[in-house]
Amino acid sequence: MTAPGGRWTQAITDNGEPVVYLLCITPPIAGHAHHYCGSTWGLASRLDAHAAGTSQARLMQVVKERGATFRLVRTWYGGRDLERQFKDAQHLSRWCPDCASCPRISLPNVTPRRVRRARHVAPPAGLLVPRARPVLATSAATGRRWARSFLAEHEGATADEIEQAAAAFQEPYYSGQRTPEGDALNGAFGRVIEAALAALRAPAAVAS
């Protein structure tokens, strides 16, 4: 196991909150299992269990058995629902700073499966179900507007500087009490920032 560090792993469990963590595995297991995502209330002890091969995660047991290594590359404040969002979204390499030239800042725009299943349960007869208001679309539009203003304020900055500033801008929300409206706003904000970062870094990628 490689020791964590850097701005991508600032979410920790020392303050009594659960975190979701992303591990990058080298070499990939079976040629394709390159990442593992989990959630825990005790990050240090969970990483120790993964390193010892004694955790309940079968993939991490195989990592130990085959002599592979892993590195903690990202952490986010959140619990099992956020972990499930990442796993349902798949392609965890998109959030891995070791694998993606422009790792995603926004969280997965995926509804956890247990929530999707609950939506298909018919309400009891006679129960009045209020219509959903289009607040999420409004929140997303606000997030895109904020992102455009944010980019205008940081005109002339490098891609790395913009990325760090955007992460610092969103960190207070993701560290606090999240809401569907807030997720929609911050998700839209992050997607606009990611597109701008990719555009800024594209010339450098072509030149190299």
The answer to whether 180 touches 140, Cβ cutoff 8 Å, is: no
Categorize the per-residue pLDDT at 27 as very low, low, confident or very high, splitting at 50, 70 and 90: very high
Nearest of 199, 99, 126 to residue 158 by alpha carbon:
199
36, pLDDT greater than 90? yes
Which residues are CB-contacts of 171 (< 8 A; sequence separation ≥ 6)? 10
pLDDT tens per residue, range 135-188: 677 888 888 888 888 888 888 889 888 988 888 888 777 777 778 888 888 888
Boundaries of every domain in the chain: 7-95, 135-207
Residue 206 pLDDT: 55
pLDDT on residue 22: 95
Residue 5, Cβ density class (10 Å: 0-12 exposed, 13-18 middle, ≥19 buried): exposed
pLDDT, tens only, 89-104: 888 999 999 998 888 8
pLDDT at 123: 57
CA gap 168, 12 in Å, rounded: 16
Per-residue pLDDT, 154: 86
Say what percent of the chain tops pLDDT 70.
80
pLDDT at 89: 84
Q: Is 60 exposed, middle or buried (0-12, 13-18, 19+ CB in 10 A)?
A: buried
In this predicted structure, what is the pLDDT of residue 145? 87
Beta bridge mates, 39: 20
Question: Cα dist. 206→87, 88, 156, 160, 200 in Å?
Answer: 32, 32, 20, 17, 11
What are the tens digits of pLDDT across the range 69-91?
999 999 988 888 888 888 888 88
